[in-house]
Amino acid sequence: MNSSGVIKYLVSNVLLANLKSHIMRQIYLLLLGLMFFACSKESPEPDLSAEVKGTYLAYDVIIDSKEYPFPFTGADFLLELIPQSTSTCILRTSSIFPGISDTGEIVVTLIKNGNATELLKGKQKVGLVTGQVLEFYFVDNNGKDVTIKGRKM
């Protein structure tokens, strides 16, 4: 093999093989980098309980579509959302009427729905927080639909 044959051999076999290997390595690293940066972490869930927590003073009670503005003389009704996690709260109700006081608690799950936050007990919607207003829905012992509206204190 003469010197021009050796040069042809080196160029065609060794240098081109190294060049192909180098280009493939660069493409591989580029793809690996794209995959690494394209797979970003999911944004953390918003802390809905921090947004809605607080005490709400009842200003309106609706029983079977009939409105009863609160407060009644000497009576107070408080609704309190106490965070348990970013998406759950305890909803505590406290009613204070002359000679009678009562409290109750349920655990609610918080779901963001547009500008409002829904309160769910299981799959049932039991309330809604919109801005500074909390609405609490339930059926009383007589089967009547009740809505209590409270403003954040």
Would the pTM of this model clear 0.75, i.e. be above it? no
Domain boundaries, the chain: 1-40, 48-152
pLDDT digits (tens, 9 = 90+) for 20-52: 665 667 776 666 666 666 665 666 778 999 999
Look at domain 48-152 and name its CATH class.
Answer: mainly beta
CB atoms under 10 Å from CB of 14, counted, come to: 10
Rounded to 5 degrees, what angle do the CA atoms 77, 82, 85 make?
A: 155
pLDDT at 41: 62
